[in-house]
Amino acid sequence: MDASDKKLTEQIIAQNQRLLQNLDTQRHCSCEVRQLISEITGRSVPSSTEIRVPFYSDYGRNIKLGERVFINANVMMVDLGGITIEDDALIGPGAYLISVNHQLKPEHRKELQLKPVVIKKNAWIGAKATILPGVTVGENAVVAAGAVVSKNVPANTVVAGVPAKVIKKIED
């Protein structure tokens, strides 16, 4: 990342923090919440999408939200590496979606590893679940409350635990 990219990123983060402070500390109707989230993400949030506050992100510009998405209160999105939430997904209260990690080697510890998080159509992320960098949660999958997901979740399955493991297949 060159100096001009770093400066622009810092400016976006500063703007994001101002918008989030306004979002999370003032009273807003649902259309105002969507408008502020649209400013944070740099793209329009569908009117069918509902976001409960407080809502947190570190960067904001790399969040993509589909139609009829529901995001409950106290969700944190660390989105520098990209977070996509497809149509009809549900994100439980206090969930963490993290697309950024650090290097293991001490001399490179402050260097970032960016890996996108993707939540596919109709997936459900339970309360206080953590989705780690590079994970895709498959269509119709369920992540149990409190799970820590470090590997992709197959479609139509339920995962639970730390680390999360498939505990059930969802039958039609």
Active site residues: 102
The amino acid present at 114, given as its one-letter code, is L
Which SS3 state, helix, strand or coil, does residue 20 take? helix
Q: In whole angstroms, what is the distance from residue 117 CA to residue 14 CA?
A: 23
Which SS3 state, helix, strand or coil, does residue 124 take? strand
Q: In whole angstroms, what is the distance from residue 81 CA to residue 155 CA?
A: 23
Helices (H) and strands (E) in the chain, counts: 2, 18
